[in-house]
Amino acid sequence: MDEKILPRHIGIIMDGNGRWAKKRLLPRTAGHVQGAKAFRKCLRHCIDLGIECVTFYAFSTENWKRPKEEVNAIMKLFSDYLDEGLDMEEDDVVMRFIGDTAPLDDALREKIGRITADTAGNHGTVCNIAVNYGGRDDILHAVKGLIKAGSDPDTLTEESISGNLYTAGLPDVDLIIRPSGEQRISNFLIWQAAYAEYVFMDVLWPDFSEKDLDGAIEEYSRRNRRFGGI
């Protein structure tokens, strides 16, 4: 693929796990297990393609509405992933976590802190995992931070807000991919995706393959981005 048209930052809404399981008469949690496998495969492919930054939507600020057993199963999968991880050193991946981690349990937060610190000095693909993430919460958190730091409202800029989001220092999102057939943003990266290209796909997340990612990137490369110009 032509490197010039690769998106710098891809956002992926990992949706459709429940429906994948339902189709197979399995419990929803089986869909999440399979979804976690699709996530590993997709991250690997992003690394192989040399994508600068990818953000995976794993758990939203709204997902707490789900039954406790399902929430616990998702957190457990997340925790297992952090135990096992990729070969971060070999892959040179920078792991970051975006969202409010305060409500997560201590053991999980400790793992998040450790993996963030261990990979901070790497130089390859930046992988953000969005956990207890909401775009509105992200903006609110940034504004609160600015006010607490004594920012003068008259000198506030879009850059100062961007620089206080969980994604501070990363490029805006170029491409948002949503599998599962839903065509909405569901409170993902709403500020960062102001000029993103959207690719909605009918595949359910657990079935999402390398080919699907290639297809979305190809579709992206055919888009004519104007950013308000002509």
Q: Which is nearer to Mg ion, 112 or 176 (CB)?
A: 176
Q: Is 182 in the site for ligand IPE (CB under 6 A)?
A: yes
The CA distance from 42 to 37, in Å, is 9
**Options 63, 137, 172, 207, the catalytic residue:** 63
Range 119-148, binding ligand IPE (CB under 6 A): none
The residue whose Cβ lies closest to ligand IPE is: 18
Tell whether residue 206 is a contact of ligand IPE (CB under 6 A).
no
Residue written as tokens 């975006």? 98
15 is catalytic: yes
Q: And the tokens for 106?
A: 């201590």
Smallest distance, ligand IPE to C-beta of residue 180, A = 6
Site of interaction with Mg ion (CB under 5 A): 15
- Token pair listed for 133: 């993430």
Residue 186 contact, options ligand IPE, Mg ion, none, Cβ 5-8 Å cut-off depending on partner type: ligand IPE
Residues 45-84, one symbol each (x = binds ligand IPE by CB under 6 A, - = not), give ------------xxxx--x----------x----------
Report the phi/psi class of residue 150: left, alpha or beta, with left for phi > 0 and alpha for psi in -120 to 50: left
Of 10, 46, 14, 50, the residue nearest 207 (C-alpha)? 14
Q: How far apart are CA 187 and CA 15, in angstroms?
A: 13
Give the span between the Cα atoms of 66 and 226, in whole angstroms. Answer: 39
Q: Quick check: is 63 catalytic?
A: yes
Q: How far is the CB of 65 from Mg ion (least distance, A)?
A: 12
Q: What are the φ/ψ torsions at residue 201 (nearest 5 degrees)?
A: -130, 150
User: What are the tokens at 230?
Assistant: 């002509």
- Rg value, the chain, Cα: 18
Site residues (CB under 6 A) for ligand IPE, limited to 7-26: 13-19
| Annotated catalytic residue, options 2, 15, 87, 214 | 15
Pick between residue 15 and residue 174 the one whose CB is nearest to ligand IPE.
Answer: 15
Strand ranges (E), the chain: 9-13, 53-60, 94-98, 126-133, 175-178, 197-200
Counting contacts by CB under 6 A, is residue 166 touching ligand IPE? no
Binding interface with ligand IPE (CB under 6 A): 13-19, 57-60, 63, 74, 180, 182, 184, 186
Catalytic center residues: 15, 63
